[in-house]
Structure 1
Amino acid sequence: MRCHNRSFTPTALQPVVMPMPLALGTFIVPLIVACAMFMENVDGTVIVTSLPVLARDLGQDPITLKLAVTAYVIGLGVFIPICGWVADRFGSRTVFRTAIGVFMAGSLMCAASTSLGTFVVARFVQGLGGAMMVPVGRIIIFRSVPKSDFIRAVNYLTVPALLGPVVGPPLGGFITTYLHWRLIFFINIPIGLLGIWLANKHIANVREAHPGRLDWTGFVLSASGASLFMLGLSLVGGELVSNTVSVSMCVIGVLLLVVYVLYANRVELPVLDLRLLRIPSFHASVVGGSLFRIGLGAVPFLLPLALQEGLGMTAFKSGSITCASAFGSIFMKAAASRILERFGFRTVLMFNAGCAGLAIAVYGLFFPGTPHWLIWCVVLFGGFFPSLQFTSLNTLAYADIPSRDVGRATSVASVIQQISLGLGVTIAGIVLQISHNVQGHSTIVFSDFWPAFLVVGLFSFLSIPVTARLPQGAGDEIARGSRGSA
């Protein structure tokens, strides 16, 4: 659960407040972290539901608002690798409270935004808060809860992860349709204040006496390279900067990332240790999983846009439909361990990726007049496959990782996953823009969307050759263990 690359040494930790009774800690600490996770999950889902209305209010093309989604992902990807070091340096409670405060400040900046530029900056600030908030919260749980109660604590933590995508879309759609989109950003304020108050009362400010030296060179190279590449790609084909500028940003970003790879292979403890990708199960989970996430990362952006701009639904109706995928995810989680035990990781990852890709492509077949109940059922069914795939990928990631390397593996996996989710939104936006221009429509219509859904669906299929390289029986021990704890 650690987010930095040094081993955990309990003797070096310095708690500032007295620890609570173990039984209370097992319950209350995960729920405090759950406040932060719920706030982040709801925020992400309400925003994508409101993007078309928000774009018109800011005088922008709805496709351009992909920048707002990408900016948040950049904030996450840039700062996740150093969250563990920062928590050890300044204290986990201090960083956790500050992160919630930064996220709330970003939310208020979003509500006050009057232009695309200010909104994108506000979303980046939210991403900075999110990068420190949930990962540091997981570190707090790891340090506060006895190992014998760890599974129970994690179960408490998963509740908001499941409820956020259920509550967020209809709530955001309702506020946007019947009130005003600016009000959706005030949802975070009472939740954040509650989280800060509970953290002050129940979380010890644990830190390491000697956190060591942060790999600043690696951090600057990886952060600037990933940011320039992602931002440049998001600006391609837009009106904010010329294509020459956006392509130049992409090229410089790639060059910086190449320099980082060369640098990371020469130092002992890089901020992101890419050498861990040589482990087959970790490689399949991260690389194959990231290709899969490109497709799935596009759906929360693309589907509400298609329902509202292509089919003419209100934001509330759109949100009531897109939340169906969350119900599908919940249903599948109950069966995931049994499916993995029966068929194994390799078979499940390959077959399920194909099913997920087809499900995404089917979203592009919706047209005006398609019964809303049918769309809801298709979206519900489409939620099954990502849930099973993410459960499999996240479990397989640590199958062969030594315990001393779990923190470094978490950093690598988290950053690559976030970048792939952002790439999904960017690629979907580019394909949608090309489709719209080629077909020559004056406004976005439903027929503009099917090429975008088809292209992002293909990325799920691209993950199959990567996972096919897994040896037969990979992760079987974990699959059997997951059945026992299901």
Structure 2
Amino acid sequence: MPPVMDPRTAKLLPWIVAIAFFMQMLDGTILNTALPSMAASLNESPLRMQSVVIAYLLTVALLIPASGWIADRFGTRRVFFAAILLFSIGSLLCAESPNLGFLVASRVIQGVGGALMVPVGRLVVLRAYPRSELVDVLSFVTLPGMVGPLIGPTLGGWLVEYASWHWIFLINIPVGIVGCIATLKFLPDLRGAERVRFDLGGFVLFGAAMVLVSVALEGLGELHLAHARVMLLLLAGLACLAAYWLHAAKFEKPIFSLALFRTHTYAVGILGNVFARLGSGAMPFLMPLLLQVGLGFSPSRAGMTMIPTAVFAMFAKAMARRLIERLGYRKLLTINTLLLGALIASFATVDASTPYPLLLVHLAIFGAVNSLQFTAMNTVTLIDLSDADTSSGNSLLSVVMQLSVSLGVAAAAALLQGFVSQYVHPSESQVLESFHYTFWCVGGMSVLAAAIFLQLSPDAGRAATPVEQHAAGEL
């Protein structure tokens, strides 16, 4: 049963969790713009600065699997406070870094905080509110996370140009201070019903799998590793994952129980997240490139062009609950997934002759559909889990979300590079054509997830909705 909260705490709690979402999403999008300036300031080659991104990525990939156990062991208030504090301290150390080695170490500290902030924040929401309110609360707390990618690149470019790269980290400090104070004052201290022994063997196997797979995915994209190395890393990661599966089958309390997949909505939601996020994860990578490289937009104009995507995503969050109650998860997710894939593929029609207002409308519709997809599939994944499984199930969802987005970016980058490499000296029209082919492929990948969501039962997740509860009360 959810804890009893006073009205003020119930109202403020989503805002506190939203701070964590905002900090992490802003940091993830603001940094890339500043890497060249950081390299010049630290007397490093820009090609070596990728370690700044990878250090954070690998730390998060390694620690997310343990986030649920840590929250159960030490309590959500203490862990959430420590996460925001570590993220803020790491940000301060990044801003004060005198060399690349110090900066990479500081990013690891940031990564420890980042690995705990969002999973533990979502776990607090899952435990603190009735399942009937889950759609509304999750929709609200993820809104600031959608603002981060909107303002991140533009803010990063402005800070580098008019101040210095240090400020991309220093802006986290006041937000972190507010988050720490609010956490200590209002966040409930929730723990698991029973204390279990930490699954160290499972953590090592699963963590190794996540790190190896993450490096392999980055190797396809930004690291530009040879394909043989990527395959070796990927196979090693899959071997560790298979070893974890065998370990979890015999261990009494594994870090991620195989019993989670006996909850049908959870199994469908996890698999649906993997494939649906391939397209959604690729879009923040593809669209700025299309606008700047394919259509010749300036960075500032490209950033402004993306505003309708974020604005209409926020409007869609407000409609999510009513649509889910009216259509049910099965029908909504099947239709919305098909529509999302079709919208992604339809960006293959955008070229220099596309009227600018039409492009803005196109992006606005995509933002709304994409936002509704995230809300519905995340909620259906978690809504039927038992209280005993919420911690483990929520942590696994966080891992899947991170890896599927990384896979989407890597797949889009590989597709785009493959299409462009067909030409010895590609012209502007051939580059644009390569973007079009990539959008067709990414949209097609997204459509495939609809077959997964069709496996939901027509009444999946609806037992927890207010409509059903009200009807039950009248009987």
TM-score by length of 2: 0.82
Residue equivalent to 2:473: none
Residue equivalent to 1:317: 301
Q: Contact conserved, 2:266 with 2:385, CA < 8 A, in 1? A: yes
Residue equivalent to 1:384: 368
Residue-by-residue CA offset, 1:102-151 (whole Å, 9 max, x unaligned)? 32344456657899998777656544321212333445567778999999
Within 5 Å, give how 1:98-109 maps onto structure 2: 98-108=82-92
Residue-by-residue CA offset, 1:433-480 (whole Å, 9 max, x unaligned)? 222322334799434423332222222111122122223333343456
Does residue 97 in structure 1 map to residue 81 in structure 2? yes
Aligned amino acid, residue 455 of structure 2 = R
**1:472 is paired with a residue of what secondary structure?**
coil
Aligned amino acid, residue 252 of structure 1 = A
Residue equivalent to 2:439: 453
Q: Contact conserved, 1:171 with 1:319, CA < 8 A, in 2? A: no
Residue equivalent to 2:328: 344
CA distance in 2, matches of 1:413, 1:388: 17
Against the structure 1 CA distance between its residues 303 and 99, is the aligned structure 2 distance closer, same or farther, given a 3 Å change threshold? Answer: same
Q: Contact conserved, 1:101 with 1:192, CA < 8 A, in 2? A: yes
| Aligned residue among 432, 454, 458 for 1:468 | 454
Against the structure 1 CA distance between its residues 73 and 51, is the aligned structure 2 distance closer, same or farther, given a 3 Å change threshold? Answer: same
Aligned amino acid, residue 260 of structure 1 = Y
Give 1:183 shift: 3.3
Residue equivalent to 2:347: 363
Residue equivalent to 1:4: none
Give 1:78 shift: 2.8
Aligned amino acid, residue 370 of structure 2 = P
Residue-by-residue CA offset, 1:65-105 (whole Å, 9 max, x unaligned)? 6x877765544343223223223444544433332233234
Aligned amino acid, residue 475 of structure 1 = G
Give 1:163 shift: 4.2
| Aligned residue among 65, 81, 84 for 1:81 | 65
Against the structure 1 CA distance between its residues 71 and 302, is the aligned structure 2 distance closer, same or farther, given a 3 Å change threshold? Answer: farther
Residue equivalent to 2:272: 288
Residue equivalent to 1:433: 417
Q: Contact conserved, 1:70 with 1:426, CA < 8 A, in 2? A: no
Against the structure 1 CA distance between its residues 93 and 375, is the aligned structure 2 distance closer, same or farther, given a 3 Å change threshold? Answer: same
Against the structure 1 CA distance between its residues 55 and 361, is the aligned structure 2 distance closer, same or farther, given a 3 Å change threshold? Answer: farther
Give 1:215 shift: 0.5
Q: Which moved more, 1:329-338 or 1:218-227?
A: 329-338
**2:448 is paired with a residue of what secondary structure?**
helix
Residue equivalent to 1:409: 393
**2:17 is paired with a residue of what secondary structure?**
helix
Against the structure 1 CA distance between its residues 237 and 90, is the aligned structure 2 distance closer, same or farther, given a 3 Å change threshold? Answer: closer
CA distance in 2, matches of 1:440, 1:51: 31
Q: Contact conserved, 1:366 with 1:446, CA < 8 A, in 2? A: no
Paired-residue identity, %: 34
Against the structure 1 CA distance between its residues 132 and 60, is the aligned structure 2 distance closer, same or farther, given a 3 Å change threshold? Answer: same
CA distance in 1, matches of 2:183, 2:384: 34
CA distance in 2, matches of 1:329, 1:9: 29
CA distance in 1, matches of 2:99, 2:352: 32
Against the structure 1 CA distance between its residues 199 and 236, is the aligned structure 2 distance closer, same or farther, given a 3 Å change threshold? Answer: closer
Against the structure 1 CA distance between its residues 307 and 117, is the aligned structure 2 distance closer, same or farther, given a 3 Å change threshold? Answer: farther
CA distance in 2, matches of 1:93, 1:134: 13
Q: How many residues align?
A: 465
Does residue 255 in structure 1 map to residue 247 in structure 2? no
Give 1:203 shift: 5.2
Against the structure 1 CA distance between its residues 236 and 141, is the aligned structure 2 distance closer, same or farther, given a 3 Å change threshold? Answer: closer
Aligned amino acid, residue 472 of structure 1 = P
Give 1:214 shift: 0.7
Give 1:386 shift: 1.4
CA distance in 1, matches of 2:137, 2:318: 18
Give 1:249 shift: 1.4
Against the structure 1 CA distance between its residues 375 and 151, is the aligned structure 2 distance closer, same or farther, given a 3 Å change threshold? Answer: closer
RMSD: 4.0
Within 5 Å, give how 1:270-285 maps onto structure 2: 270-285=254-269
| Aligned residue among 242, 267, 278 for 2:251 | 267
Aligned amino acid, residue 452 of structure 2 = V
Against the structure 1 CA distance between its residues 443 and 45, is the aligned structure 2 distance closer, same or farther, given a 3 Å change threshold? Answer: farther
CA distance in 2, matches of 1:143, 1:281: 18
Against the structure 1 CA distance between its residues 443 and 266, is the aligned structure 2 distance closer, same or farther, given a 3 Å change threshold? Answer: farther
Against the structure 1 CA distance between its residues 207 and 291, is the aligned structure 2 distance closer, same or farther, given a 3 Å change threshold? Answer: closer
Residue equivalent to 1:192: 176
Give 1:219 shift: 0.7
Against the structure 1 CA distance between its residues 291 and 207, is the aligned structure 2 distance closer, same or farther, given a 3 Å change threshold? Answer: closer
Give 1:290 shift: 1.5
Give 1:228 shift: 0.5
Aligned amino acid, residue 454 of structure 2 = A
**1:470 is paired with a residue of what secondary structure?**
coil
Against the structure 1 CA distance between its residues 338 and 175, is the aligned structure 2 distance closer, same or farther, given a 3 Å change threshold? Answer: same
Q: Contact conserved, 1:353 with 1:464, CA < 8 A, in 2? A: yes
CA distance in 1, matches of 2:203, 2:256: 8
| Aligned residue among 302, 312, 320 for 1:328 | 312
CA distance in 1, matches of 2:311, 2:325: 23
Give 1:235 shift: 1.3
Aligned amino acid, residue 464 of structure 1 = A
Q: Which moved more, 1:301-310 or 1:21-30?
A: 21-30
Against the structure 1 CA distance between its residues 112 and 221, is the aligned structure 2 distance closer, same or farther, given a 3 Å change threshold? Answer: same
Q: Which moved more, 1:270-279 or 1:197-206?
A: 197-206
Against the structure 1 CA distance between its residues 427 and 240, is the aligned structure 2 distance closer, same or farther, given a 3 Å change threshold? Answer: closer
CA distance in 2, matches of 1:349, 1:162: 20
Aligned amino acid, residue 462 of structure 1 = L
